[in-house]
Amino acid sequence: METGGLGIDLKLMLAQTINFILFVALFARFIAPSFFKFVKKQKKDEEEKLAILADLQKKDEEASSQADQVLKEARLQAKIIVQESEKTAKISREKTLEEATVEAHEVRSKATKQIETERDVMLGDLKSQIIKTSRQLISQILKDTMTKDNQKEIMEKAFKQLPK
C-alpha cells in the first residue's frame, strides 16, 4: 500500500476509478436507456393526463354552462306557465262570477214573478171572499130592516161602488 504525501492509497484510488468507469459504462449501456425511456414515458403519460384533465375541465365547464342555460330556460317556461295559469284562472273566475250573477238575477226574477202571481191569486181570492162576506152581511142586515125592493136597490149601489 503506497500512500502518497497526503495519505491516499493510489492502488485503491485506481481500483475505485476503474470501478466507477465500469459502473458508468454499464449504467450507460444497459440501465440508462431503459431508465430514460421510462422517464420519457412517465413524462408523456403525465402530459397526456394533464391534457385529458384540461379537456375534462373544459367539458365540465361547458356542461355546467349548458345546465345553467337549460335551468334558466326551464325557469322561464315555468314562469310563463304560471302566468298563463293565473290568466286562465282569472278568466274562469270572472266567467263563473258572471254566470252566477246571471243565474241569481234569473232566480230573483222568477221568484218575483212567482210572488206577484201568488199575490194576485191571493188578492183575487180575498176580494171574492170579501164580496161574498159583504153580500151575506148586507143581505142579512137588509132582510131584517128593509123590503125586497129596497134591499135590491141598496145592494146594486154597494156593488157598483166596490172596486173590480
| CA–CA dist 143, 149 (Å, integer) | 11
Q: What's the whole-number average pLDDT of the chain?
A: 88
Distances (CA, A) of 92 to 80, 98, 99, 103, 126: 18, 10, 10, 16, 50
92 is written with which cell numbers? Answer: 274562469
The domain containing residue 132 runs over which residues? 10-161
The structural domain count of the chain equals: 1
Q: Which of 109, 113, 104, 156 is nearest to 135 (CA)?
A: 156
Q: Calculate the dihedral angle through the C-alpha atoms of 6, 7, 10, 15, rounding to the nearest 10 degrees.
A: -130
How does residue 138 score in pLDDT terms, banded at 50, 70 and 90? confident
DSSP helix/strand/coil, 50: helix
| CA–CA dist 137, 159 (Å, integer) | 13
How does residue 144 score in pLDDT terms, banded at 50, 70 and 90? low
| CA–CA dist 128, 149 (Å, integer) | 25
How does residue 4 score in pLDDT terms, banded at 50, 70 and 90? low
| CA–CA dist 72, 63 (Å, integer) | 14
In this structure, is residue 128 part of a structural domain?
yes
| CA–CA dist 80, 96 (Å, integer) | 24
In this structure, is residue 3 part of a structural domain?
no
In this structure, is residue 108 part of a structural domain?
yes
Q: Is the pLDDT of residue 2 over 60?
A: no
